[in-house]
Amino acid sequence: MLQNVKLQNEKSLVIMKIFLVFVIAIIASMSSFAVHLLTVEWLPAWIGSQMQGVEIVPSWSVRYIAAVTSVEYGLAAVALYSLGREKLLTFGIFKAVIIFSILLASIHGAFIRQPLMDYLIGNPLQITLVQNGFKWLIWLLISFVVVYGFEFLIKKQGGKKS
């Protein structure tokens, strides 16, 4: 009888923790969504007024800077992977790549949110899938290189963690 009560209390605590984590996720998401809503209303008009008469010309030098600064994604991915590596590898290396790519895309809002919003605003399904498929490919490639690259280095070091 006492064990049943303890077991029930443990289950209740787990459910409460899951609920609280969900509440934290909702509050975090809504705080950023509130900023998004505020900026969607006035930011485009303000930018338009500031940019009147300004001509923007694409150049290769900007693309070089974009390429160099894109290293930010890779560095952040390596840092995040190193933090979650032990847990991710419990699923196996291939599944770790898939899960990690889904997490990266989700943090960026590119896994479910953006494709859904693209479709809901009227983009045809095939356009939504192609546009977002390339975005998913980016995160999948980053994850593949980070996970397999990191594990290759670990193996070369004789299995040392870092």
Q: Is the model's pTM score more than 0.75?
A: yes
Hey, where are the domains in the chain? 1-56, 59-162
Q: Tens digit of pLDDT for each residue in 98-148?
A: 999 999 999 999 999 999 999 999 999 999 999 999 999 999 999 999 999
Return the HEC string of the chain: CHHHHHHHHHHHHHHHHHHHHHHHHHHHHHHHHHHHHHHHHHHHHHHHHHHCCCCCCCCHHHHHHHHHHCHHHHHHHHHHHHHHHHHHHCCCHHHHHHHHHHHHHHHCCCCCHHHHHHHHCCCCHHHHHHHHHHHHHHHHHHHHHHHHHHHHHHHHCCCCCC
